[in-house]
Structure 1
């Protein structure tokens, strides 16, 4: 049965001269063939072995998507060791927690930024013996007693390989599907992050099921821009890459992703909803700045065509007008944003609003929704065309992958089991038992509904759903998704537990609202000033009232309206714990941090002062708007 090392060696034998991975550096793309990758991986694996890395020991992987970190993960797995991807922006407390929890012996990192962060906490990480960096710029004068470069490790590996000719073949042959392949940390949306252990079999078999169902080919081009620590990236990029042998393209930096997307023109794309939301916002801002009627005309046509298709008209979008729309608007638009070659696009990890989903499908992007968790290797269900193109299926997550089962517990929580189920939470047997029963069913923490055809629809997190004072059920995620369908609203948090109406925190999208303000000659000095403008409140109020007009369809006939809202003076912050790095709202933190705001919205106050927690000084005075 296949493992990551066996798949890698198979690709190096059969496709040695083909491009395996590309990386943009200083504006130029550099390519590594599978033969190049083979040499580097073998040298790194032998170098790590010479430094004392043993099977089942852990190697932290910290940095952005660069070829050397992909090679490092394979090298560790060739030894039967376990790579542990950690987000490169993790703060000091998170780094210490992750490194100690996984008992990392080595950390293989991108550059000086990660080295500096690790040197600050080295004495707090008992098992960490050495940090190995890819880019050594700025570190010539550093103390290298516990520090070395990839090149130095490769040189050690070359010497080790000459002295131990059969070593690597022997150790690779001992890696099986039951061998632990990755520790992937959860986002911590509803509590502390936990390390989910996945075996080679879990990921390879889930990847095979996905690849077969979705007809993934070796000719694909994939832009690898999601953090290495995301479970969906581990499956969609790393696992499918080794299974199919397509080309991974690593962007120059996180800031150049949109530019590099246009350069690459990927055929496959997986991204969380906030990526498509950002793209949608940029397109909207572009339309505003153009002052052209063409955008409005053709976007309206795309929406109408999509509505007809959802209504059962399978020929919608055909004919001369459809061909003209693709020629003069939709094809050029997709080309500008690097979407022309997309054969299939996927989104998952959070709720995507119907407005944004239908926009991309309306302009000809074959976008599908997926559902998964860290414990499920990132994927449980994938939408099929029959679900994506019907009104009933528009909000569905599709059916389970082959080899995966789902069911609904008495309280409505969705559980799954099958080829994608994680082994355990590392060094946490109690939490493992709470999440995974003796029959292999794994709790997701999500409420949902499974129809008679086996199609899954997700409602919200179990711990997010509450009740209004009337006793009717309050599902905040639905309200928030409806609000975020506006290109002007980046984030929204709906409040209503124990109340007779809904209140909402609104975070505006600085790009689209800023563009709208410029077009309408509204002067502002920065984000905070923009967010306080009365015209912006009026703009947001239009969306809130639109959501209210359809709220019975969103939440049911007994749902009260959004009665009051506030436009936040800043975006929600990862460092303050209000939002995860995957852009999921941590509701308990937001509610705790902004408790005074919640109380004010359910009082007669028309404004509220926001104070700095440390200094106690007022940082903003926010207006509370009523509908």
Structure 2
């Protein structure tokens, strides 16, 4: 199998890549170690702009000192109401460096929801992306007595705005530069005072049953989990990743921002959700994490292109994908691939399948990661047939993201894989509910001790609400939701 796919880059990495026991400590150690290297890229006016670790550090330092200048205290909460941009990351790391708690709000949330999330989290500073998001904040600010400042990233259309509570991100950075000159060691002191057991971030659950709940994650839990991720879906400084899922969701916050912060993998930010297919082809990521809907869209795009192709191209694709599927079936069954079929697969990849991968933008991908919702085993099989391993992970906000994962050496579509090495997973012997225990499990729900007690039992097991089965190899499969079983 190793001759068919290069699995050397998917080996678990157990050594510590970056020292530090809080997210700000990790970040500033990263700046020190990687200085001039590129960390992030974002497309602006049609041109990709690179951010080195040093440039990122300078921006984070200015924003953090700006927060200190406006009286932001350690353990206060700042919220970010924005799409997935580099500025989101800069503000997040600045809040954490200043000893604060960082909370993300979906840019699609209505003003009423923004009010609830800011009130529940005790937000004192709110970062908003643009005039559209600012309007929501202004609509509800009279109901938020704790909110002191609103900071706007993009001031387009707001040049005439004169509001003492609202300043631009550029103005905050100016305040930060002045504050840095007057108090040169203050930020370092805040970073040093930040304790691993302290609350770092809030991630609000979707609130499908009642109000959203603020899941609390400590610095210790976040650092422990990103180190654990390297044993599951390893990356390094040579990797190119895409950042496009919402950063207020645990998947992109952990698997995108913090995991790349730890490993040094480059983060490329798409222009907007509509340009994802075009940006994938430009970036050609080496590791690509997405939700099933994205993988389905790519597949549909290839099928549409194929319908418009000539008869010879259609026949070539049919033969090549057929060879790929034969190989995929043997690999999934854990059986050896005969030499003749290996040779056919090599020809199929060279003549046809590599072009299909280029059409999607995954021709450089060492592996793909899918999660956040169930995916069709047939779709996984199709990507395997193209010659790219697709690894399914499962987890939730409360487990700090991925808690189980399919190993590249033993792919079983339809399964969510065995427990990740950094946590325990088992089934409740009576109900079959999937239970998780480990340092990656969250601290509890903000302001909801009774909900926390319902979710984490006396032995530290998190009750996930998912019902499953486990096979003799330790691979779990989700079969139902506890709520559905209770209803029926």
Structure 2-normalised TM-score? 0.91
User: In structure 1, which of residues 397, 405, 408 is the aligned counterpart of residue 416 of structure 2?
Assistant: 397
CA deviations 1:533-553 (Å, max 9, x no partner) are xxxxxxxxxxxxxxxxxxxxx
Q: Secondary structure of the residue that 1:193 maps to in structure 2? A: coil
- In the alignment, which residue of structure 1 is the partner of 2:444? 424
Contact 2:323 2:344 in 1 (8 A): no
- In the alignment, which residue of structure 2 is the partner of 1:517? none
Contact 1:387 1:394 in 2 (8 A): no
Q: Secondary structure of the residue that 2:150 maps to in structure 1? A: strand
- In the alignment, which residue of structure 2 is the partner of 1:110? 129
Matched, 1:349 2:372: yes
- In the alignment, which residue of structure 1 is the partner of 2:259? 240
Residue 191 (structure 1) shift = 4.4
Matched, 1:58 2:77: yes
User: In structure 2, which of residues 424, 430, 433 is the aligned counterpart of residue 413 of structure 1?
Assistant: 433
**Gaps spanning 5+ residues in structure 1: where?**
468-496, 498-627
CA deviations 1:572-597 (Å, max 9, x no partner) are xxxxxxxxxxxxxxxxxxxxxxxxxx
- Inter-partner Cα distance in structure 1 for 2:468 and 2:323: 33
Residue 104 (structure 1) shift = 0.9
Please tell me the root mean square deviation across aligned C-alpha atoms, in Å. 1.7
Contact 1:69 1:109 in 2 (8 A): no
Residue 189 (structure 1) shift = 4.0
CA deviations 1:587-624 (Å, max 9, x no partner) are xxxxxxxxxxxxxxxxxxxxxxxxxxxxxxxxxxxxxx
Matched, 1:327 2:358: no
- Inter-partner Cα distance in structure 2 for 1:319 and 1:111: 53
User: In structure 2, which of residues 295, 299, 307 is the aligned counterpart of residue 280 of structure 1?
Assistant: 299
Matched, 1:435 2:458: no
Structure 1-normalised TM-score? 0.72
Matched, 1:74 2:74: no
- In the alignment, which residue of structure 2 is the partner of 1:309? 331
Residue 458 (structure 1) shift = 1.2
CA gap of 1:45–1:295, structure 2 versus 1, over 3 A, is same
- In the alignment, which residue of structure 1 is the partner of 2:385? 362
User: In structure 2, which of residues 196, 206, 210 is the aligned counterpart of residue 187 of structure 1?
Assistant: 206
Residue 356 (structure 1) shift = 0.7
User: In structure 1, which of residues 448, 455, 475 is the aligned counterpart of residue 468 of structure 2?
Assistant: 448
Residue 301 (structure 1) shift = 3.2
Contact 1:379 1:420 in 2 (8 A): no
User: In structure 2, which of residues 109, 120, 128 is the aligned counterpart of residue 101 of structure 1?
Assistant: 120
Larger radius of gyration: 1
- Inter-partner Cα distance in structure 2 for 1:232 and 1:26: 28
Aligned length: 464
Q: Is 109-118 or 317-326 further displaced after alignment?
A: 317-326
- In the alignment, which residue of structure 1 is the partner of 2:34? 15
Bigger RCO of structures 1 and 2 (CA < 8 A, at least 6 apart): 2
- In the alignment, which residue of structure 2 is the partner of 1:228? 247
User: In structure 2, which of residues 50, 61, 65 is the aligned counterpart of residue 42 of structure 1?
Assistant: 61
Matched, 1:375 2:398: yes
Q: Secondary structure of the residue that 2:231 maps to in structure 1? A: helix
Residue 107 (structure 1) shift = 1.1
CA deviations 1:162-221 (Å, max 9, x no partner) are 111221111110112112111001123454321100011111111101113433212111
CA gap of 1:312–1:35, structure 2 versus 1, over 3 A, is closer
Contact 2:130 2:155 in 1 (8 A): yes
Matched, 1:339 2:358: no
Residue 308 (structure 1) shift = 3.5
- Inter-partner Cα distance in structure 2 for 1:37 and 1:305: 44
- Inter-partner Cα distance in structure 1 for 2:115 and 2:480: 31
- Inter-partner Cα distance in structure 1 for 2:419 and 2:99: 30
- Inter-partner Cα distance in structure 2 for 1:267 and 1:444: 32
Contact 2:334 2:410 in 1 (8 A): no
